[in-house]
Structure 1
C-alpha cells in the first residue's frame, strides 16, 4: 500500500446502508477534497467557531484554559479566516504563527489581520507535513475545530510536540465523537453509526463535499500520550449559561442538553 494511503475502509453515510467505496483513501485525495471545499464553499462555514468559543456552548472566557498569553508565542493549527488569531493578538501575544491547508483562507486571514493591525506569520500547508515551523519555540499551540481533519493524528501530535517548548501547552477542540454517531428525527435521538468506526466518509455541506473521519476519544488520548503530552484538563459539558443567554432551541442546543457535542483538551508537553 502507498505510504500516503489510509488503511481504513471508507463508507458513504447515505442515511441508509453505507456503501463501501474503497479499502483505502489516499491522503492527498483527502487534502485535495477538503482544501477545495475551504477554498470555495467553506468560507462562511469556517466563521462558525472561533475563539473565544471552542465550539457550540463552550467558551474560553468561562473555561480560562489559556490564562494570560501576553508576551507568549502562539501557533494556531487550522487558522481559517484569522479571527482566533485576532483574539490572541488583542490579548497581547508577542508572536503569532498559523498553518492552514487552504490558500483562500490564508488570504482571508492575511487581509483580516492586516485590517486589525495584527501581525502573524501564516503558512499554507497540511498540518501533517513539515513546513518550516520553528521547533522548541512556542509557549502554546492551539486548534479550534480543525485538528480532526488531519489524516495522520499521531504524526500531527508528534509535530505539535516538536513545535512546543518544554512545559508548553497544546489546547484543541473538535466535534465530540458521540455527536457524530447520533441522528435526530421528530425530537427523538437514535444511534446511526458505531462509535468505534473510524472510517473516512464523504459529507455533503452547503453544496460541497468534505471527507471526514470520526475518531474515538481514546484515539486522541493515546496519541497525545505517545507524543509526550500529559492531559491537564478535558471539557465536554455544555455551558448552561451560554445556552440560556441565547434562548437557543435549535437542533444543536437540543443535542447539547442530552450529550456532548464538543470536546476540548488542554495538554502539557513533558
Structure 2
C-alpha cells in the first residue's frame, strides 16, 4: 500500500527522477516490478554499468581489486547484458557464472558471450533466492551496480558467503548513499532527503517503473559482518583522472568532485 510521495532526486547512479512514492516492502511485487523494468527498457533508461568501470568515475584499472583471475571460478550477481563477464572472460578464468532477475538480460549476456567466443553458466533468478548455485565453490563473486536491487541484503550476503570458498573474495559496487541524498541546485549542493531513510519506494522513469531502497553505508557493512566477511578495502573517491579525461562539466561531475557518487567494497570470507 502506498504511504506517501516525496522527492528522490537520485534514483541510481547519476540518473535523475522526480516524485517517488514510498511503499510497503513486498518482495514479490518488487521482484515483479524490477524484472519487468529490466525485461523491457531498463538498459535504455539507465544504461549499463560494467567492468572495467564500477560506476561513475571509479575503475578496476586504477584500483586492481580483482588481482589475477586466471584459473579462478567466478560468479557475477546481476550480470545484466554481460559486458563484465566478457571483460573477465578475456582474462582466462577457469569458469564464468552469472545470475540475473531478468530473462531478457540473461539472453543478452548469452548472445554477447557467444559472439565473443566465451561461455558461462547463466541462471535467471532473484539474488535472494536459492537457485542451484554450488556452495563452497567460487573463488570470486562480484556485483557491479546490482546489489542495491536486493529485497533482502542480509540474506543475499549470506547466500553469497555460502557460494564462496574459504578465503574467497566478494567485490561489489553501488550508488553511494550520500549521493542519493544530495542534489545540485543553482551551483550548490542541497540535502533533499534524510540519509537515515531506508524505506522502499517506486518511481516512474518515463513509461517505466522501478522499486528501490536507499540503504545507509552501515547497513551494508553490518550485513557483511553478519554474513562472515571481513572488509579488505573500500573505495569511495572519484577518480580525478577520469573526471579530467572526460572533461565533464555537468552538475553530476561537479557533484562527484565534492562527494562520493559510487562506492566499492572488497570483502573476504572468513
Same fold, judged at TM 0.5 (above): yes
The equivalent of 1:235 in structure 2 is 235
Task: Please state whether the residue corresponding to 2:68 is helix, strand or coil.
Answer: coil
- Check 1:163–1:19 CA distance in 2 against 1; reply closer, same or farther (3 A cut): closer
Matches within 5 A, 1:1-270: 11-14=4-7, 22=23, 24-45=24-45, 47-270=47-270
Aligned partner of 2:14 in structure 1 is none
Partner of 1:252, secondary structure, is: helix
Cα distance change of structure 1 residues 144 and 253 upon mapping to structure 2, 3 Å threshold: same
Runs of 4+ in 1 over 4 A off after TM superposition: 8-11, 18-22
SS in 2 for 1:171: strand
The answer for the alignment partner of 2:12 in structure 1 is none
Q: In the superposition, relative to structure 1, how do residues 54 and 11 fare at CA in structure 2: closer, same or farther (>3 Å)? A: farther
| Residues 10 and 199, structure 1, Cα contact 8 Å, conserved in 2 | no
The whole-number CA distance in structure 1 between the counterparts of 2:117 and 2:199 is 42
- CA contact 1:178–1:195 (8 Å) conserved in 2: yes
Show CA shifts across 1:173-208 (max 9, x none): 000000010122222211110000000111222431
- Shift, 1:25, TM fit: 2.4
Three-state SS of the structure 1 residue aligned to 2:154 is: helix
Q: 1:127 to 1:15 in 2, by over 3 A?
A: closer
Give the CA deviation at 1:13.
3.1
Cα distance, 1:46–1:72 mapped onto 2, change above 3 Å: farther
* Aligned counterparts of 1:167 and 1:44: Cα–Cα separation in 2: 38
Give, in whole Å, the separation in 1 of the partners of 2:54 and 2:7.
29
Long gaps (5+) in structure 1: 1-7
The structural deviation recorded for 1:250 is 1.9
Judging changes above 3 Å, is the alpha-carbon distance between structure 1 residues 123 and 230 closer, same or farther for their aligned structure 2 residues?
Answer: same
Aligned length: 262
Q: Any stretches of 5+ residues in structure 2 without a counterpart? A: 10-18
Query: TM-score with structure 2 length normalisation?
Result: 0.92
SS in 2 for 1:29: helix
Maintained 8 Å contact 2:7/2:192: no
Task: Give the Å deviation of 1:112.
Answer: 0.7
SS at match of 1:170: strand
Q: Which whole-Å deviations, capped at 9, do the CAs of 1:133-153 have from their partners, x for residues lacking one?
A: 010000000000000000000
> Are the equivalent residues in 1 in contact too, given 2:6–2:22 (CA < 8 A)?
no
Equivalent pair of 2:20/2:204 in contact (CA under 8 Å): no
Q: Is the 8 A contact 1:46 1:81 kept in 2?
A: no
Query: Superposition RMSD on alpha carbons, in Å?
Result: 2.0
Query: Within 2, Cα distance between the matches of 1:136 and 1:257?
Result: 40
